[in-house]
Amino acid sequence: MDPVDTDNIIKPIQDALIGLVYEDDSLVTDVEDHRRSLSDTFDVALCPSLLVRGIISGSECVYVRINSAKALESYL
């Protein structure tokens, strides 16, 4: 089976967070996504413990982190 495009994964996750993290997903201003193969090598010392658990499980997982938006200039 071909991997799903990350942009097709983001919207359902944003929808699931409505009422839990924010009132409406229209409040989301920035989205950053990354997809990694579980066969890759990871330095888990730098990863949050919840993500480490997902990596160690060997099963596909999604890790979501919610932050306030940075100033646009910080991306330039």
Per-residue pLDDT band at 1 (split at 50, 70, 90): low
- pLDDT of 45-58, one tens digit each? 989 999 999 989 98
Residue 45 makes CB contacts below 8 A (sequence gap 6+) with none
Task: Give the span between the Cα atoms of 75 and 38, in whole angstroms.
Answer: 28
* Mean pLDDT along residues 19-26: 92
One-letter amino acid identity for 40? D
Taking the model in full, what pTM does it have?
0.74
